[in-house]
A = this chain, B = another copy of it.
Amino acid sequence: MDLRQLRYFVAVAEELHFTRAARRVHVAQPTLSHQVGLLEKELGVTLLTRSKRHVELTHAGRIFLNEAQRLLRSADDAVQAAQSAQAGRLGQLMVVCGPTAAYVGLLGMLELYRRGSPQVDLHLIESPVVDAVVTVEQGSADVGLVVPYFESSLLKRETVLELPLLAALPKSHPLAAASCSDSGEDRVSFNVS
């Protein structure tokens, strides 16, 4: 099996038309017939039903199409990763940030980090805490900076900053009598998936 054959098959499967697919991959049309045929022979699986006029995907063909597409994307990712690594890039870091963290000035910290470590591609999104947690859980982001109002068995929590939570109220308010021994303390946490 060969990545080239996979590209050919994907083209045919997506176009459902050998001639168009041939144009798309810049190859003569009989070549496609031949190569896709070889692929099917090697797998021992009929991927397409050719009815002399129409091309259709078999069930196995649809399954294999998905896998093949994933595979080709992974291949591209692999060369990207290698080239980035060669260029000194250690990887990319997708950070998702809750509103509190954004307000408190952590964005400035990230900007400093970016300048200090240009070999890391740093991306930042800002979103509500709940969405942020889900984003990290799903792997769409690498770290989240949020206040720790969440539960997740998948994520690790680490405190990077503690900041006081202040209550402002009129002196005439009944509760204002008690001096402020604020037990409620807001913390910003650093979560790694």
**A43 partner residues in chain B, CB cutoff 8 A:** 79, 82-83
Instruction: Output the least CB separation between A90 and chain B (Å).
Output: 8
Instruction: Output the least CB separation between A188 and chain B (Å).
Output: 20
Instruction: Output the least CB separation between A58 and chain B (Å).
Output: 8
Determine chain A's interface SS by DSSP, over half rule.
helix
Scoring A residues 28 to 55 as 1 if CB is less than 8 Å from chain B, else 0, what string do you get? 0000000000000001111100000000
A interface, size bucket: 35 or more
Taken together, the copies of this chain in the complex come to: 2
In the complex, A153 has a CB within 8 A of chain B:
yes
Q: Which of A59, A60, A77, A134 has the most CB of B within 10 A?
A: A60
Assess whether B75 is in contact with A45, with CB atoms less than 8 Å apart. no
Assess whether B82 is in contact with A77, with CB atoms less than 8 Å apart. no
Instruction: Output the least CB separation between A79 and chain B (Å).
Output: 6
**A60 partner residues in chain B, CB cutoff 8 A:** 82-83, 85-86
